Every structure is written in C-alpha cells, then in structure tokens.
Amino acid sequence: TIKSGIVKHPSSIAGWDTTTSISADEESIIMSRCRACCLPRGLEVYLREPIFFGGFALSLLYLNILSFGAIMTAYLVWRGMSYESIGILRGISSVIGLLGTVAYHISSKRHSLSYIGSWSISFQFTCLTICFASLYVIDDALSLFMLIFGVIASRIGLYVFDLSITQFMQLLIPEDIRGVTGGVQKSLNGFFDLTTYGLGLIFSNPDDFYILVATGYVSVGLAMCIYFWGIHHYKDALQNV
C-alpha cells in the first residue's frame, strides 16, 4: 500500500525490513509521465515498483538470438554442421544452463541478490563478447568454436540472472499487485522474443547473421547497464535484499 510517499512491501521473512522509500515527488513524476503517455494501468503499476529496472533488463535478454533456437540452428546448418551435432550441443547447453541453478544456490549463501545479479549479467555479457568476436576470426573452425563456446557458457549467467530477478520480485513486490507486474513482465519478454523473429525475417540471408548477433550483443550490454544503474539508484530500497 502507498501512504505518504512510502511503499510498504510485506515479507514473510522475519526480521527483514522491506519498506522501500520512494519519495512522493518521484512517485508523482512517474505517474504523471505514465498518464501523459497514456500508458496502461498495469504498466503504471509495474513502473512504480523499485525493481522494475531489473525486470526490464531481464526482458532485454529475450532480444538475444545467441541460443540454440530456430534462427541459430538454421545458421549452424548453413555453416555445415549436421543436425545430430547441433542436437548434442543443444543438450550440452541445457545441462550447462542447469548448472546455473547450482551456481545461484551457492552464491545466494554468500552474497546479496544485487551482487548475484551483477556478476551473472556481467558473465553473460563476457561470454557473448566471445561470440561477437568470433565474427571477425578468419579461421572458420576457430570462429565456429568461439561462437558455440560463448553461447553454451552464457547460459550460466542467463539462468542465474533470471533467478535473481525472479527472487527480487517475490521479495519486493506486494502480493496484491504481483500478478499485475508478472503479467507485464511476461508481455515484455514475449515482445522482445517476438522481435527476434521479426529481425530474422528482415535479415534472413545467412550473410546478415552478424546483424542479429550484434543486436543481441548490444541488448545484453544495455540490460547490464540498466541493471547497474538500477542497483545504484535504488540502493536504499535494495539494501536488505
């Protein structure tokens, strides 16, 4: 509930003070901008939460095509890989991704959620840097190895960051609006995911694959910047998490 510019977030964890201070001026500015832009009510509620930056950063990751999805599979086939090899690599990628849940469990015992989100998004961006650099490697075998290695390794960062943002939302968003914010989050994820297929239609030539890689790389970099800005700007609200 909102009273006198203070948003109180109930928590089931005893001893935690999850009251986050959002000034009345900040709330008024956000609401006025939402009304001026004719934003839907659900989006207004979403933007009013101090963790919205993390959710938006997470949704930007869906703009990345560097996974063993349909677009990258088609590209790998064009590069000469067999479907059997791609299937094996997809299985390895899934297993490596599950290791992210283990990494999250270990990290959560030692560090705050803010720190976990920071290292995971940074790790993913570093792995995708390898993928991006592979586009400029002349040796075909080495280029393909760098691309596949970067994609598989990046799954750890993706899984950990997803879990950390989900945990943030469960702890900081009140139960009575959790469904609304969750619906907006799913919509943003779906929008950026759909955008990748639109880009795939526009840049359908395999020679233009570098454009799709660059788009995903930039989107993850932008997500990392937004997240770092958010944990600094809302550090008072996140200090107990």
**Which amino acid is located at 129 in the chain?**
T
Contact 42/24 with Cβ under 8 angstroms?
no
Structure tokens at 131: 């993928």
Residue 8 phi/psi, 5-degree rounding, is: -100, 125
pTM of the model: 0.78
How far apart, in whole angstroms, are the C-alpha atoms of residue 158 and residue 219? 13
Model confidence pLDDT, tens digit, residues 107-145: 988 888 889 999 999 999 999 999 999 989 999 999 999
pLDDT by residue for the chain (241 residues), tens only, comes to 334 343 444 444 444 444 444 555 655 555 555 554 555 677 888 888 878 888 899 999 999 999 888 899 999 999 999 999 999 999 999 899 889 899 999 998 888 888 999 999 999 999 999 999 998 999 999 999 999 999 999 999 999 999 999 998 888 888 888 888 888 889 999 999 999 999 999 998 988 999 999 999 999 999 999 999 988 877 776 666 6
Q: Which residue has 């944990």 as its token pair? A: 231
Model confidence pLDDT, tens digit, residues 20-42: 445 556 555 555 555 545 556 77
Residue 236 phi/psi, 5-degree rounding, is: -70, -35
3-state secondary structure of 6: strand
How far apart, in whole angstroms, are the C-alpha atoms of residue 168 and residue 101? 16
Residues 6+ apart with CB under 8 A from 22: 5, 6, 7, 48, 50, 237
The Cα-based distances of 60 to 125, 194, 222, 227 in angstroms read 12, 12, 8, 11
How far apart, in whole angstroms, are the C-alpha atoms of residue 128 and residue 146? 10
How far apart, in whole angstroms, are the C-alpha atoms of residue 113 and residue 50? 14
